Amino acid sequence: MHIVVSVILLISLVLFSNVISHFIPSIPVSLIQIGLGLVLALFSRFSIPLNTDWFLLLFIAPLLFNDGRRFPKRELWKLKGPILANAVILVFLTTILGGLLFHLVIPTMPFSVSFALAAILSPTDPVAVQSIAKKTKLPEDVMHIVNGESLINDASGLIAFKYAIAATVTGVFSIKAATLDFFYISIVGFLVGLLLMAIILFIQNWLYQQGINDLIFNTVLQITTPFVIYLITEDFLHASGLIAVVTGGIFAHLYGSVPEQGRPELTLVSEKTWDIIIYILNGIVFVILGSELPFATNHVISDNNINTLLAFGISVICWLILFVIRVLWIFGYQISRAIRGNLEDKKFPFRNSLLAGLSGVRGAITMAGVLSIPLTINGGRAFPSRSLALFIAAIVIIISLVVATITLPLVSEDKTPLLTRASNGSDVEETAGKRTASYVSEDQARIYIMKLAVQNIEENRRPDNTKEAYDLILDYQFMIRQLEIKNQSDSKTNSVIDDEVALRRVALNGEMKSLRQLFSKKEISKSAYLIAYKRLDKVEKRLMKVASGKARVNNVQFQKIVRIKNLILMIFNRRTYKKITDDLSLIQREGFKQAISELSKYFDRKDIVGSRFNSQSIYHLVVHYRNQIEIAKAHSKKISKAHNNNMQNLRIKALAAQREGVQILLEQGEIDWAMAARLRQYINYSEAVLIMDYQNEE
């Protein structure tokens, strides 16, 4: 029961961290998760006893497999030499040189532990690397190299780490044995990953041909793949399960499978399922990191006779060592490229090296690995300097995140927040899709295609589908206005709100004028008059609050109260209820007509400059009142099948107009293929929901 509660608590904190990140986007969500884990540990003494084997299996295997699945094929082949050099040679150089320097800084830490610590600090967070590379506008080849190495240096770093840990646990170290073992576990892991992935794809294709093409079955089969590959490689062949899962992921990405090609919905579902899994696993790792900080600090003080401040200083030095090694390596690569005449930017090569060094943000893999350090070695003695290694790794992760967060705004004009591997999917996609100056933004593109959809609905509006047309137009207008306000400055947003309040007051005066006329002519009852008057009075008071900045326009609460009163009245007096509802329907129809009339008169006044008002605000308000008129006309009618058919037909035509809009933007060079794909995917999702709704109604 304890593990179940712990898992629920960890997932809840991951969700809460992303809520906080929404309101404080300048702080990477990884730091927020670390902070939440720290608070949890301080106030509840929360901790999770970690086992090396299941931690590597549960966290690292799916993370590395997912990295392999999303490996950039074009960049891998074009820059395979430099990428592999960074991912393998740089990792081992960091392990050896960093380990030696770590031992000089921390003499009490054994060589093998220093090597293990340097090895696990070598892998970089791929999403953070990509985020920094795009913001700082690194040369294209340098950007591809740091992106590519970040996706495969996890495996090489973890192999070096695992071997160093094994040397510490057993107390045996042989260069010859280490070299042979390295080649065995690497080559066999590579070959087994290829073979097992090929077998799994063959089985999946065979099952598909036999008619076993269930969507959920195939998705679950894909999700279990990295665990199967890792277990078979590690437990039966004693090779590197880490290399095997990376290789398997890359192989699956390169060749795919027949079910995926024949069933695009399988690709969509499996991708989103993977997003959810990676989202949870990465978040949990950082929360655990935060919860382990107090534990690591206490052990540093008690077991290593070193105070926390000194340990922090050592951590800073370790980060500087890693940073310098990385900068010098990238600088050497750029110099060699410049000598060969292949480097475009020869003016500031060292600046690019510094930025590439800054991209070395450590993340989930580093923490997942260091937390898997065993508690004891052979003979039952405690693992030497375990707590100090854990503390240094945690602080280096935090330092790399904080330094990147602080320095990015200084070196980049792009002020969007730093993304890390623990960032949610939508943020990653949004940043990955940032436009250059020659393209419109994704929000602008969505506004354009939605306006085309509204125009199409207007063209297809007929007397028998007027209500449905206005319903749909109102939905689109709401989304358009949200996107427009999102992309406006605070001053422009306030101006739009002020204009809308002014227009609503004009319309409200029209509604009040119509209500008084109906009551004076005795066309409505006193009860209906009082109900309508109270509603309008509530709206007016709320508008006054909005004008003063204390509230927003929202009639939902009052409408709920009115519905409750009407329900009680209907139960006890059906005849009176019918009279009142008929009167209220009349009040709405005439009031909304008068509101539109008053708005028209308002814009005809010579002292009013109509051009200063936001056209979307005007159109939204007019459509709102027209929609309410149609609702009032049909207040006594039940929603019929014809209503649903009308709505479905209009939605289908609107989606077709949106698709056409995407093609227009693409042909005119306003968007690129990547954005067009995302916009089309959004439209496809909308169409899928439409089909599901139709099937549910049937």
In this predicted model, which residue has the larger pLDDT, 33 or 569?
33
Q: Residue 123 in 3-state DSSP? A: coil
Exposure on the CB side of residue 646, measured as CA atoms within 13 A: 19
Which of 14-18, 163-167, 529-533: highest mean pLDDT? 14-18
The whole-number pLDDT of residue 436 equals 47
Token pair of 133 as six digits: 């590379």
Helices (H), 521-614: 526-547, 556-572, 574-604
Contact 168, 99 (CB under 8 A): no
Name the pLDDT band for 550 (thresholds 50, 70, 90).
very low
584 falls in which pLDDT band (50, 70, 90)?
A: confident
Q: Provide the pLDDT for residue 6.
A: 85
| Long-range contacts of residues 677-683, Cβ cutoff 8 Å, at least 24 apart | 678/429, 678/433, 678/442, 679/442, 679/445, 679/446, 679/449, 681/268, 682/446, 683/449, 683/655, 683/658, 683/659
Q: Say which range, 10-19, 289-298, 534-543, has the weakest mean pLDDT.
A: 289-298
pLDDT (mean) for 584-611 = 75
* Rounded Cα gap, residues 439 and 459, in angstroms: 29
343: amino acid identity, one letter: L
Per-residue pLDDT at 634 exceeds 80: no
C-alpha distances in Å from residue 239, one per residue of 138, 188, 193, 292, 685: 37, 6, 10, 30, 42
Could you tell me the residue ranges of all domains in the chain?
A: 2-430, 438-468+642-698, 488-636
State what percent of residues in the chain have pLDDT above 70.
69
Cα–Cα distance list, 674 to 373, 433, 452 (Å): 42, 7, 21
Residue 333, pLDDT > 60, answer yes
Spatial distance between the Cα atoms of 633 and 643, rounded to a whole number of angstroms: 14
Determine the pLDDT at residue 643.
66
CA distance 630 to 532: 18
CA 473 to chain centre: 29
Question: pLDDT per residue over 452-465, tens digit each?
Answer: 988 888 888 887 77
Please report which confidence band the pLDDT of residue 469 belongs to, taking 50, 70 and 90 as the band edges: confident
How far apart CA 102 and CA 117 sit, in angstroms, is 8
2-430 fold: Na+/H+ antiporter like fold (1.20.1530)
Range of weakest confidence among 70-84, 108-122, 551-565:
551-565
Residue 584 C-alpha from the chain's centroid = 46
Q: How far apart are CA 285 and CA 116, in angstroms?
A: 19
- Listed in sequence order, the residues at least 6 apart from 94 whose beta carbon sits closer than 8 Å to its beta carbon are 118, 119, 121, 122, 322, 325, 326
Instruction: Quickly state the pLDDT bin for 617 (edges 50, 70, 90).
Output: low
Taking Cα atoms as reference points, which of 352, 357, 358, 355 lies closest to residue 335? 352
* End-to-end Cα separation, the chain, in angstroms: 43
Instruction: Give the model's pLDDT for residue 636.
Output: 45
- pLDDT beyond 60 at 696: no
Judge contact between 422 and 33, C-beta under 8 A.
yes
Residue 99 has pLDDT above 80, yes or no: yes
Q: Are 173 and 167 in contact (CB under 8 A)?
A: yes
Q: Quick one: pLDDT at residue 285?
A: 80
What type of residue sits at position 637? K
pLDDT of residue 88: 72
Mean pLDDT (the chain, rounded): 75
pLDDT, tens digit (0-9, with 9 covering 90-100), for 486-531: 766 555 555 666 666 777 788 888 888 888 888 888 888 888 888 8
385-398: pLDDT as tens digits: 888 888 888 888 88
pLDDT score, position 74: 65
The answer to whether residue 556 scores a pLDDT higher than 50 is: no
DSSP labels for 481-543? HHHHHHTS-HHHHHHHHHHHHHHHHHHHHHHHHHHHHHHHTT-S-HHHHHHHHHHHHHHHHHH
Residues constituting the chain: 698
Residue 372, φ and ψ in degrees, nearest 5: -90, 0
Least confident range of 51-55, 337-341, 694-698? 694-698
pLDDT in tens, 334-353: 777 677 665 555 555 677 77
- Taking CA atoms, 69 is separated from 74, 81, 523, in Å, by 14, 20, 70
Three-state secondary-structure class, residue 376: strand
Q: Which helix (H) or strand (E) holds 685?
A: helix 673-697
Tell me which H or E stretch contains 660.
helix 641-667
pLDDT(566) > 50:
yes
Query: What's the rounded Cα separation, in Å, for the pair 246 and 633?
Result: 63
Identify the sign of the CA torsion 651, 656, 661, 663: positive
Q: Tell whether the model's pLDDT for residue 218 goes beyond 70.
A: yes
Provide the pLDDT for residue 641. 57
Q: How far apart are CA 8 and CA 40, in angstroms?
A: 14
> What is the SS3 assignment for 333-344?
HHHHHHHCCCCC
- pLDDT for 68 equals 78
User: What was the pLDDT predicted at 238?
Assistant: 85
Q: SS3 for 698? A: coil
Distance between CA 444 and CA 480 in Å, rounded? 9
Cα dist from 525 to 443, 489, 568, 584, whole Å: 49, 48, 18, 9
- At 468 the pLDDT is 79
Structure tokens at 137: 């506008």
Q: How confident is the model at residue 558 (pLDDT cuts 50, 70, 90)?
A: very low
Tokens describing residue 257: 């499978």
User: CA-to-CA distance for 588 and 582, rounded, in angstroms?
Assistant: 10
68: exposed, middle or buried (Cβ count in 10 Å: 0-12, 13-18, 19+)? buried
Q: How far apart are CA 460 and CA 655, in angstroms?
A: 13
